[in-house]
Chains A and B, each alone.
Chain A
Amino acid sequence: TQLLEQSPQFLSIQEGENLTVYCNSSSVFSSLQWYRQEPGEGPVLLVTVVTGGEVKKLKRLTFQFGDARKDSSLHITAAQPGDTGLYLCAGARRETSYDKVIFGPGTSLSVIP
């Protein structure tokens, strides 16, 4: 069973368009992270959200953590070809002595010039 779902799975858009990627779960997380991964490389952390309802902005990227800390969204304004990549959300579940980080299946974004 997939603890974290992401939608859409694939997205191909024109440069300049806006887009939103969703990350959903039935589980509550202590924090949620978004990563971007490019071919042949490891994922790179974009943001961590901790508080329910929290909104964080990173240039043209806006991240929101759901009030119940079960879901999150990533909105990109005026997408650029450099935004192309695999976007992964990851939920941290508090275990006894550490945060277990579980990843979603990813959204593959292609921005066409």
Chain B
Amino acid sequence: GAGVSQSPSNKVTEKGKDVELRCDPISGHTALYWYRQSLGQGLEFLIYFQGNSAPDKSGLPSDRFSAERTGGSVSTLTIQRTQQEDSAVYLCASSPSSYTGGNTIYFGEGSWLTVV
């Protein structure tokens, strides 16, 4: 597809279980972002990738959260030992450049995570 693809679109998991969320960015986009959005709220920055490296992990809320990106393409966000406060929509975005001035950041539709 032409856009940013995320899976699963919806995930219900039990408290304490691990979850993996996948992002397939637009082909050729080197910059990749993960954000978290609680119901009706703005987006909370989690992590930024440039190629395969993550120069900014400052938004990850705890050491239960980790992310990787392989081959400069697909990224996986992993949440270990999920808690109810992790329930949110996890949004992935990609851009052809690290700088926003003349570039568009494209978002996927998100993965809605519910921890019960």
Contact = CB atoms under 8 A, between A and B. Distances in A.
Contacts of B107: 42-44
B98 A97 contact: yes
Contact of B100 (A4, A30, A42): A30
Interface residues of B, number: 28
B41 A95 contact: no
Contact of A98 (B56, B91, B106): B56
Contacts of B42: 4, 6, 88, 103-106
B100 A33 contact: yes
B101 to A, nearest CB: 5
Contacts of A44: 107
Nearest to A92: B100
Interface of A: 4, 6, 30-31, 33, 40-45, 48, 50, 86, 88, 90, 92, 94-106, 108
